[in-house]
Amino acid sequence: MLSGEGYQGGRLFLVGDLKQSIYRFRGAEVEIMTKLAETYPNAHGQVLVLDQNYRTKPQVAAVINEVCHTIFATEDFPYHPLLPVESTPASLGGAGAEILLAADHEPMMLAARLKNMVATTPIAAPNSS
């Protein structure tokens, strides 16, 4: 634990991911979280579970949840299933990604896409009317 100048104590912030204990070959130990809970039994802390997954397809998440539920679930730490979130560029508010599968036609497809972007995207200089 580190404390700096002006530290008043009374606050503890811990981050852990029990699912990362699959990396035992790198020295990961799921028991560390259990030991922390035993070390601070009266901490009355709040546990936030980050279970929304934006990178895994629902079919893959279903298999992961089925397998990992039996591997990771313990009395002290129940397994929290992954909740896949289907995301689209519009829902993310960003441009997203476009995959061009026709390698032989890719230069022409890219040129057409760029031409369309230039034609439909307004361009304005800062502070111009």
The string of pLDDT tens digits covering residues 63-119 is: 989 988 887 777 767 788 989 887 555 555 555 566 666 677 878 888 888 898 888
Is there a domain that residue 6 lies in? no
In this structure, the number of other CB atoms found within 10 A of the CB of residue 67 comes to: 10
Is there a domain that residue 128 lies in? no
pLDDT of residue 3: 46
Is there a domain that residue 5 lies in? no
Looking at the structure of the chain, the number of domains it has is 1
Is there a domain that residue 112 lies in? yes
Is there a domain that residue 113 lies in? yes
Is there a domain that residue 2 lies in? no
CA dist 31 and 37 (Å) reads: 10
Closest by Cα among 48, 67, 64 to 56: 64
Q: How confident is the model at residue 62 (pLDDT cuts 50, 70, 90)?
A: very high
- What is the SS3 assignment for 95? coil
Q: Which residue has the tokens 């679930």?
A: 73
CA dist 60 and 34 (Å) reads: 29
Domain extent at residue 94 = 18-119
Is there a domain that residue 44 lies in? yes
What own/partner pairs with CB < 8 Å and gap ≥ 24 does 45-53 have? 45/12, 45/14, 49/80, 51/80, 51/81, 51/82, 51/83, 52/83, 52/85, 53/82, 53/83, 53/84, 53/85
The secondary structure element, H or E, covering residue 52 is strand 52-53
Is there a domain that residue 72 lies in? yes
